Amino acid sequence: MTVDEELSKARELRKQNCQAEALEIALRITAIEPANADAWWIAGLAAHSLDRIKDSLSALREMLKHAPRFASGWAQYGVVLGENGQLEEAKKAFNQAIRIDPQHVFAHRQAARICELAEDRDGQIRFLNSLDSFGKADSADLNRLGIAHWEKKHFAKAIEYYLRSAAEEADPAPYFNLALVYNHSEVSQDVDAVDSLNRALALNPDYHPANKKLAEITPRLRSLAYEALKFGETLLAFEEWFQFYLNPFELLGATREQRLEDFDSKTIQKLKKRLLQEIDLEDGHIEHLNGFCFDRSQVIGVCEELTDENIKSHHWLVFKNPFLLWFLTRGDLRHFVYRSDYSPLEVLEALDSPWSGFKEWLSKPFAKQYNLVLSRAMQKMAIPVIESLFDGRRWTLRCHEDICFDAAHRHVDRLLEPLKEAAKAARNNCPSLIEIEQLVIDSGLSSVINLLPEPFREKQAEAVRCVRDIAIACYNEHGESDLSKSILLLSKKFTFKSTELHQRLEQDFLQIQKLIAEERKHDAKLTLGGQPMQITKEGVRMGECFLAASKITSIRWGILITGYQHAPVYEFLMVFRDDDFQEAVFSWRSSSDLKKQEAHFNQLVEAAMNYIVPKIFLKVQNQLANGEHIRVGKCTMIREGVAFDAQGWFSNKKQIIPWQQVGTEMRNGILSVFDRTNPKMRIQTPLRESENAIILRIFASDAEKNRL
């Protein structure tokens, strides 16, 4: 038997699934002819079928040495590499196959599968898109493309590919996947999700995932439908009906028990003649359409459309679906709300059909009517209706989206305007929390803007920016960190569908929290005898007594040590007084655990130095600039410096030390004030008993720094 005959036999054995025998023959040939690529190819395939992965890889490598331009060989090599867990090497093999044959279907499909295993969504999309571009993507490929885009949150693309997959093959899986996209919080078109699930169940009533998801989604939609229809079946006034669409079959008095075939040209002419007679007799009013008045020429034009068989079928499809018809003509809301007895499967099939032209014909009048109904819902602040209108069955082309939302954009702009003005004003005037709550919550802004779909993302971002700008202004311009945090908390009232906006809000909130934590790090909050003893940015609290930081005018503190050397008693004292002469006194004694007690006292001192002393310093600075005198123990602060009475032999003499020459020392609870040029000129005053002694010391220190 010749080599060629042996190869033919091996191929035949493979077809008969006698893989071991085929492998044996192929290896026998390679022993005789090591460069025989065909033999290595059969050996590689047979070994792979026998799950002998390493032997398959070895044979395929040998084959590729002798047939490096064999695209299918590289593709098969990639498959086996993938099964061996060598995903990156597998990708390289598939890429080589595609370089050799750019339209190699098997290579593209398997490369996409390997990318899916490697969680390389971009690679998966790239290979499947290539497969689609030369018309070889099947239903499973398109479904996998939808899944890849779903994973990347490319929702519009996912919807496109799931619909195409479903159109290629009658399979419930793509419709179920489609429902998952519509039900996602960033899409939130739950009525569309229900319609997709019903389409899946129409193909397979026992499809468990669809039944389970339907049971999960519908309770909310039932409740929403109930709330929406409290506003009535339509929000349009009678005079606003039939603005953008007339249905000739409804005009002619057709019934839904009839068939489209019943309306041949003769029947239509007869009904049209009768209709025009009624219009002439009743001054345009048609009794079976609630007496609405129509223009004769308009009616003639609509009836003429029935001469086009394609458009005629479109009008009939609308007529056979009453909720769609009544929405287009009267603004009926029942088209958008969930009803267990309404599933417009026939219309959905026509909308998805690439050849019917139904969606292209329907889109513009639908968009105009939608714009009008949404506008009325926003004017009435009918939140359940607005939510229902965004929940699905918006059957328009993307190019008509601007028409759908034209009036809504203007309404949202009006809602946003007060908040934008508040953001500008906040730079100069600190707002109150109540003011901003009114703008965000009470106005209905957050309720409306939370429901807005993807075309309104910029409006939602603008609302976030305004609240953020107000919060930042409260912090940066007015030093109100807690107010800043409270206002930023209001942004959590916005529950947008956009994950990106939510992440941005969360980042802002965390940043404000960090700033507040940094600003509050000096807070002192202790308890004395069951009473709170606190020094914070807002002020000082002792029990029920609270002095606002902005009103405190003086401070004094100190520690008095009494008792014996080995049994000392520490008396801690800190006193604050405000401009109404109210006092908050922190005072306690201790003879045990003195280090801990000193640490508590030092915490109070640090808090006072950070929150209270700077405000007193500014007040004293203004008083001195106005020529006032500030008494500090045994001396007086004046604009020129520090004045005190120096005791002489026979009388006291008033001494003034200019600020540039004032020196201070603190030792054992005593503040010494002296003249740097004449240290003998000195006065001492106890810190514990002298109001604002620390302020005097800070003034002296600043004066010295300025002198240097």
The CATH number that applies at residue 69 is 1.25.40.10
Per the domain annotation, does 644 fall within a domain? Answer: yes
Q: Is the pLDDT of residue 649 over 60?
A: no
Q: What is the pLDDT of residues 277-288, one digit of tens each?
A: 988 888 888 888
Per the domain annotation, does 305 fall within a domain? Answer: yes
Q: Is the pLDDT of residue 650 over 80?
A: no
C-alpha pair distances (Å), 399 with each of 163, 194, 638: 19, 25, 77
Tell me: do 56 and 165 sit in the same domain: yes
The pLDDT of residue 501 = 65
User: pLDDT grade, residue 648 (50/70/90)?
Assistant: low
Tell me: do 177 and 97 sit in the same domain: yes
Structure tokens of 183?
A: 């039900």
Q: Is the pLDDT of residue 301 over 80?
A: yes
Q: Which of 256, 257, 251 is nearest to 272 (CA)?
A: 251
Per the domain annotation, does 656 fall within a domain? Answer: yes
The CATH number that applies at residue 601 is 2.30.29
Ranking 2-6, 250-254, 609-613 by mean pLDDT, the lowest is 2-6
Pairwise CA distance, residues 106 & 94, whole Å: 9
- Which phi and psi angles does 685 have, rounded to 5°? -145, 135
Structure tokens of 81?
A: 């590499």
Structure tokens of 214?
A: 């339907």
CA dihedral defined by 217, 218, 223, 228, rounded to 10 degrees? 90
Point out which residues pair with 180 in neighbouring strands.
none
Q: Is the pLDDT of residue 651 over 60?
A: no
Q: Which of 241, 178, 188 is nearest to 389 (CA)?
A: 188
CA terminus-to-terminus distance, the chain: 111
Q: Is the pLDDT of residue 119 over 60?
A: yes
The pLDDT of residue 279 = 87
Domains held by the chain: number? 5
C-alpha pair distances (Å), 366 with each of 4, 360, 410, 449: 69, 10, 20, 23
DSSP category for residue 288: G
Q: Which of 91, 44, 86, 83 is nearest to 66 (CA)?
A: 44
Structure tokens of 679?
A: 């240290």
Per the domain annotation, does 683 fall within a domain? Answer: yes
Pairwise CA distance, residues 509 & 251, whole Å: 59
Helix, strand, or coil (residue 386) = helix
Tell me: do 84 and 41 sit in the same domain: yes
Q: Is the pLDDT of residue 642 over 90?
A: yes
The pLDDT of residue 236 = 97
Give residue 568's Cα distance to chain centre. Answer: 62
DSSP category for residue 431: P
Q: Which of 185, 145, 138 is nearest to 162 (CA)?
A: 145
Per the domain annotation, does 624 fall within a domain? Answer: no
Q: Is the pLDDT of residue 461 over 90?
A: no
Ranking 59-68, 126-135, 558-567 by mean pLDDT, the lowest is 558-567
Per the domain annotation, does 618 fall within a domain? Answer: no
Q: What is the pLDDT of residues 178-187, one digit of tens each?
A: 999 999 988 8
H and E: helices and strands count for the chain: 31, 16
Q: Is the pLDDT of residue 131 over 70?
A: yes
CB 470 within 8 A of CB 437: no
Q: Is the pLDDT of residue 129 over 80?
A: yes
- Characterize 166-187 residue by residue with b for buried, 16 or more Cβ atoms within 10 angstroms of its Cβ, and e for exposed: bebeebbbbbbbbbbbbbbeeb
DSSP category for residue 609: I
DSSP category for residue 650: S
Tell me: do 201 and 273 sit in the same domain: no
C-alpha pair distances (Å), 435 with each of 43, 288, 421, 423, 441: 80, 53, 12, 12, 10
The pLDDT of residue 280 = 86
Residue carrying the six token digits 């503190």 = 557
* Domain edge (last residue) among 223, 254, 280: 223
Tell me: do 261 and 276 sit in the same domain: yes
- Specify burial of residue 530 (Cβ count, 10 A radius: 0-12, 13-18, 19+): exposed
C-alpha pair distances (Å), 191 with each of 199, 547, 637, 667: 12, 58, 77, 79
The pLDDT of residue 707 = 65
Ranking 52-66, 194-208, 499-513, 618-632 by mean pLDDT, the lowest is 499-513
Tell me: do 353 and 440 sit in the same domain: no
Q: What is the pLDDT of residues 196-226, one digit of tens each?
A: 999 999 999 999 999 999 999 999 999 999 9
Q: Which residue has the higher pLDDT, 687 or 363?
A: 363
Average pLDDT, the chain: 91
| Angle of CA points 196, 197, 203, to nearest 5° | 95
The pLDDT of residue 491 = 79
Length in residues, the chain: 708
The pLDDT of residue 315 = 97
- Collect all residues with Cβ–Cβ distance below 8 Å to 335 and sequence separation of at least 6: 323, 324, 326, 327, 393
Ranking 160-169, 292-301, 318-327, 643-652 by mean pLDDT, the lowest is 643-652
Q: Is the pLDDT of residue 163 over 90?
A: yes
Element housing 646 (H / E): strand 641-647
Structure tokens of 267?
A: 């029947």
Helix spans in 282-321 (H): 296-304, 309-319
Tell me: do 91 and 233 sit in the same domain: no
Helix spans in 1-154 (H): 3-15, 19-32, 37-49, 53-66, 71-83, 87-100, 105-117, 121-133, 139-151
CB 199 within 8 A of CB 348: yes
Residue carrying the six token digits 């401070």 = 555
The pLDDT of residue 73 = 94
User: pLDDT grade, residue 475 (50/70/90)?
Assistant: confident
Structure tokens of 258?
A: 């009839």
Tell me: do 191 and 59 sit in the same domain: yes
* Domain edge (last residue) among 519, 536, 559: 519
Structure tokens of 226?
A: 């109930």
Pairwise CA distance, residues 682 & 657, whole Å: 9
Tell me: do 72 and 196 sit in the same domain: yes
Per the domain annotation, does 291 fall within a domain? Answer: yes
- Specify burial of residue 189 (Cβ count, 10 A radius: 0-12, 13-18, 19+): buried
Helix, strand, or coil (residue 643) = strand
Ranking 181-190, 228-237, 274-283, 486-495 by mean pLDDT, the lowest is 486-495
Per the domain annotation, does 621 fall within a domain? Answer: no
Tell me: do 546 and 673 sit in the same domain: no
- Characterize 643-659 residue by residue with b for buried, 16 or more Cβ atoms within 10 angstroms of its Cβ, and e for exposed: ebeeeeeeeeeebebeb
Pairing between β-strand 670-675 and β-strand 662-667 as defined by DSSP bridges: antiparallel
The pLDDT of residue 497 = 61
Q: Is the pLDDT of residue 708 over 60?
A: no
Give residue 475's Cα distance to chain centre. Answer: 24
Q: What is the pLDDT of residues 551-587, one digit of tens each?
A: 999 999 999 888 887 788 999 999 999 998 999 999 9
Structure tokens of 184?
A: 């996602």
Tell me: do 241 and 200 sit in the same domain: no
The pLDDT of residue 479 = 76
User: pLDDT grade, residue 498 (50/70/90)?
Assistant: low
Strand residues in 268-359 grouped as ranges (E): 285-286, 292-293
Range of the domain at 66: 3-223
Pairwise CA distance, residues 255 & 299, whole Å: 18
SS (H, E, C) 95-106: HHHHHHCCCCHH
* Domain edge (last residue) among 519, 547, 582: 519
Q: One-letter amino acid identity for 692?
A: N
| Mean pLDDT on 47-74 | 94
The pLDDT of residue 216 = 95
Tell me: do 279 and 193 sit in the same domain: no
